[in-house]
Each structure stands twice: as structure tokens, then as C-alpha cells.
Amino acid sequence: MPTLRAAGDVWLWEEDRVIPRRVLLEQVSTATGLYTMLTERVDRELLAAAPRLRVVSNMAVGLDNVDVAEARRRGIAVGHTPDVLTGTTADMAMALLLAAARRLGEGIDLVRSGGWGPFDPHLLLGRDVHGTTMGIVGRGRIGTAVAERAAGFGMRVISHSRSGGIPLPDLLREADHVVVTAALDESTRGLIAEAELRMMKPTATLVNVARGPIVDSDALVTALREGWIMAAGLDVTDPEPLPPDHPLVALPNCIVVPHLGSATHRTRAAMAGLAAANLVAGLRGEPLPAAAP
């Protein structure tokens, strides 16, 4: 990271696993800047252990792992990486929607198991995406980009968010496909639970590219098993990572991928660069290019 090294001494956690909490607390005790990912919990305990800290730069658009209010109270700037991952994450939402609605996971498994036989007009019938209604939960940057892509499929788009749209129950009852792109906070934690899943059409698809805890995992397992909804496509889960023996993994009508929403070479490089720019600006006492809202 030449940009960061030019700004000062850098300590880097180089192991391919989440940094242990005790190590993180020890290292921040003398740090003036902190570069994090969503796996690091920047809470009151950590901020209190870092008396010299001037800036926290989170390599993610979401800030649910950072106590932004406490950081501000301590005069610590907080940055994140919006915009640069919007299109890529919206692409993933559409990919999961198409894969879940058209039962691609089941089709791949059938071919790999040797079960693909003569043409059968009833084999793995899915649901159309074109000409249907998409409901977007959270109409921010990513939700808006998903809506733009849905328009290309001739979809009618309805939405629910803090800034407007229709009531959530109305959206859930009306949509053929529901895509969750909302930010995670206390108002959205568990937003899609048993009552909400029961409101959806039995032919509906649920896609989550936001944060796992917005959807109640236990309720989703039941919904998929009992046919409250047809299918789900998940880029994020609760817990995350999802254990391989979790019931969602075994369900044929649930596609789970390991948080790949922004996982392209170009986008991850842009995220890393913006996070570095935020950190350097904060260390210099300059406005952050992408400060937390």
C-alpha cells in the first residue's frame, strides 16, 4: 500500500483470517489511523483503547460495524466507500434473482449428478423475471441501480424506504420478486421475518444483497421449506460466514454465495483506493473524499 506508507508508518495484519480482537485492541492503542473492513468491530471499547486515533476508514459502503456516533463524539473522522461498488452490487442482485427464479442452482446440480435425461417439458420450471413486478426494499444508491437494471427486463418497479415509496406490507404482497438493498441499522434488523415472509406470494423470489441480519434466517428456512415463497438468492447471511451445515445451504430453492456483491477486480481496487484516500486525508486533517453520512 504505497499511498498509506507515504503517509506514515503502517502496521498490516497479513494473515488470511480475521484479526483477533486482542491483537486489534493492542495495535490501536498507539494508532492515529485505522483501515478496517466489515469484519472489524469498531465500537466504544475499541475507540476508548485508541486515544490517538484521528480517522477510521472502512473498506465497505455499509457502516454497521462502526459506531459512527461515538467516533464523532471523540472527534474521529469516519470514511467509507460508497458509489464505487454500486453498479457491481446491483449486477449481483440481478444475477441472484435470475439464478433463483429460473432454478439455475438445481439445474447445475442435476447435470453434475448425471441426472440430466431426455428433454422434459416439465423439468425445473421456474418463474419469469421479464414483465413482472420487482419490489426493492431500500431505495438508495444500490436500490436505484437495481431498478435501472430491472427496467431493462421490462419489469415494473415498486419500492419501500425511509425516503418514500409504498408501505412494506403492500410491497411484499404485490411484488413477484423482492430485492433487499437497505442499510443495516436498528430499524432494519429483522425487517423481513416470519410475518413479512408470509405476506409474500408463494411464487415470489427473495434476494438479499444488503446485510444478513435484515432477513430472519430461521424464518426464511421455514418459508422456503413450507412454500411461503418459491426461492431465495443470498449474497449475505446471518450468521456470516454461513456454516456448511446450516439448513439454508441444503435447501435446493436457496442459492447462497459468499458475499460477492462487490467482488470484481475493478470494484475491489476502487474500494481499496478510496478507503486509502479517506485514511490519508483524515491523517492530514483534510476533508475525507467519502465521509460517513
Note the Cα 261 to chain centre separation in Å: 7
* Adjacency order of strands within the sheet including 77-79: 33-36, 55-58, 77-79
Catalytic residue among 240, 246, 265, 268: 240
Contact status, residue 234 vs residue 256, Cβ threshold 8 Å:
yes
Q: Is 240 a catalytic residue?
A: yes
Distance CA 102, CA 190 (A): 27
Which position among 102, 103, 139, 211 bears the catalytic label? 211
Catalytic residues: 211, 240, 259
